[in-house]
Amino acid sequence: MSSRTALITGAASGIGAAIARQLSMAGYKLILVDRDSEPLQRVCDEMQEAAIQLVLDITDSAAVDSLPTNIDEDFLPINVLVNAAGHDPGGTTRFDLGDPDDWDSAIQTNLIGTMRVTRALLPEMVARNQGDIINIGSIAGIRIMPDMVAYTTSKAGIHAFSDMLRADLQDSSIRVTEILPGLTKTDLIRKRYGGDEQRAQEYYERFKMALDPEDIAQAVEFALSAPQHAVLAQMVILPNNRW
């Protein structure tokens, strides 16, 4: 595994950071991408020389388009792309009461940003006819979540994008996996409520049980370990008290 490199977006915290730690233990070299520089530095420091960081906002189209030219040659080629960046401003709000700017922010990060990063890195994978693309979706992408219109719409888009990308690449050896977690304890909920820790805690308590980011990270490593001729196309992971 030491010759393999993974690029992970949203790597500064939550699921992205957990995936970084899991793949680091598996021997991958890592390119860690996030817009929050200080927490990204802390995660990168854990991996020492086996990781590099790129401070990047995936909604910045010009920066994303130039991404391949800003990667140290020692970390090329990229064998695995993990699209883990996620965003849900505004909280759980009924559609007619929501802020259109929050909708735009969620969809630009969760869906358009994911598509742009994939588009920036995919041509080189196609040229080598090798690579894995892991999209972190959500159970919200296939099941209705009231009062979460923008987030659910963006994750439904990730679901469709993953299926279409897999179809477009059917004549290649590139694998596309979509992982659809249920409720997971990450910073997303706290950030949704503007950093209000109490509201975030109350949200988790409503459901009594939630996944840990490490659960999703283990699923990513499991998907990558499948035989090259097999793809774990979709993995739904739920807390044990959900259905």
**Active site (catalytic) residues:** 151
Distance CA 117, CA 110 (A): 11
Residue 183 CA to residue 209 CA, distance in Å, equals 8
Instruction: Name the token pair of 16.
Output: 């992205």
Distance of CA 190 to the CA centre of its chain: 18
Under 8 Å between Cβ of 150 and 107 = yes
- Distance, in Å, from the CA atom of 199 to the CA atom of 189, rounded to the nearest integer, reads 9
Strands lying side by side in the sheet with 234-237? 51-55, 29-34, 5-9, 80-83, 132-136, 175-181, 234-237
